[in-house]
Amino acid sequence: MVTCHIRYIIDPYKFKEFEHYGKMWIPLVEKFGGSHHGYFLPSEGANNVALAMFTFSSLADHEQYREKSFQDADCIAAFKYAEETKCIVSYERTFFRPVLG
């Protein structure tokens, strides 16, 4: 199992647009076999940092999802929405594996 953690730097004046973007992606990750754990918007502290986390069975499954997402019409629309609204300034992805008891 691998969990992708995405740390976004967002435009703090475009919370609504970023929230819409997140709602677009949750079902798309699940469409390709992942489990989405949600998007997290700023509440206290920094007003321009948002997070997202989702899990796939393996890093290989995540890579297949990434490849398919570049060909999928709904994913392309989500990418385009972020580009047009400029709600995302930058992002970084980190992958984690769980330690289970």
Q: Where are the domains of the chain?
A: 2-89
Residues 6-20 have pLDDT tens digits of 999 999 999 999 999
Residues 49-88 have pLDDT tens digits of 999 999 999 999 999 999 999 999 999 999 999 999 999 9
Cα separation, 61 vs 38, whole angstroms: 19
Cα separation, 1 vs 6, whole angstroms: 16
Q: Domain spanning 2-89: which CATH class is it, in words?
A: alpha beta
